[in-house]
Every structure is written in C-alpha cells, then in structure tokens.
Amino acid sequence: METTRADGYCVSDDPSRIDRNRVWRWLSEESYWAGGRSRDVQDRAIDNSLCFGLYGPDGQQAGFCRFVTDRATFAFLSDVFVAVGHRANGVGTFLVDTALSHPALASVRRHALVTRDAHELYAKFGYLGLDDDERELWMVRLATD
C-alpha cells in the first residue's frame, strides 16, 4: 500500500523502503521513549510489526511508525516519529491517518498507544484516555531490569 499527497509526501508499508539505520538513530537518539534502544532490538521490532515509512518529495525517509498487531483483534501504535525538518506541515497526521486506514487493521477493534505529550494529536484519530472503569480492566507488565 502506498499513498501520496499532492505535495509529494508518501506513506508506504513496503518494509524494503525503510531506512533502518535512520529510523534507529531517530528513535535511539531523539525520542524520549526509545532512548538507547539497540540496533538489534530496533530491527526485531521492525521485523515483527506492521511498519509504515513516511517519505518526502525527494524520496528520503521523513518519518516512521509501526503497529504491534495480530491483524485481527488488537493493534498497539508505537514509535511514531517525524524528522525535525518535516514537522508542522501535517505530515505526522498524514502518516498516522494513512497507517490507520491500512486493510490489515480494518477488523481491529481494540487499539492502544502510550504517549507522554501527544494526547491531542491522537485524539483526532479516536484515541481516548482511560476512564475509571477502563483503568480497572487494563493492566501492564513492565520489565524488571
């Protein structure tokens, strides 16, 4: 699947187009959630997820996101990143909106994500904070380093 905007930005699910080194550097060096992530861990995350690359009009990778999903009932949106030089012109919204419309996610009814600072962005796509009843249902298991 590939979708291109009038200004030349493109979102693709083709894993061969992903500049793995660039994505790893962005996430491990510039994100608050994946700081210090090893290249090996990042490669395994890409290999085992439904990934989307955002590409600028020049064809260079400008962003990335991935879904950890069974492609049937559950999808966890992760590692959404847009390079600094490409932010503030709606390409992040384009990336997430295009990814959410992917056929592999069509039957998925339970979506989740974790964010510290982008609640308003994800609310545009229907993501909501947990209410008291939902907090009683959801649990997490964190690594014990």
pLDDT at 131 over 90: no
What does pTM read for this prediction? 0.89
Residue 50 falls inside a structural domain: yes
Q: How many domains does the chain have?
A: 1
Contact indicator for 105, 64 with CB cutoff of 8 Å: no
Other CB atoms closer than 10 Å to residue 11's CB: what's the count? 25
The residue segments making up the domain with residue 114 are 2-137
Whole-angstrom distance, CA of residue 137 vs CA of residue 130: 10
CATH number at residue 90: 3.40.630.30
- Sorted by sequence, the CB contacts under 8 Å of residue 2 that are 6+ apart come out as 10, 11, 12, 13, 14
Residue 142 falls inside a structural domain: no
pLDDT digits (tens, 9 = 90+) for 51-99: 999 999 999 999 999 999 999 999 999 999 999 999 988 999 999 999 9
Instruction: Please tell me the predicted confidence (pLDDT) of residue 118.
Output: 84
Residue 133 confidence class, pLDDT cut points 50, 70, 90: confident
Residue 112 confidence class, pLDDT cut points 50, 70, 90: confident
Contact indicator for 39, 25 with CB cutoff of 8 Å: no
Residue 99 falls inside a structural domain: yes
- DSSP letters, the chain, are -EEE-TTS-EEE--GGG--HHHHHHHHHHH-SSSTT--HHHHHHHHHTSEEEEEE-TTS-EEEEEEEEE-SSSEEEEEEEEE-GGGTTSSHHHHHHHHHHT-GGGTT--EEE---SS-HHHHHTTT-----HHHHHH--------
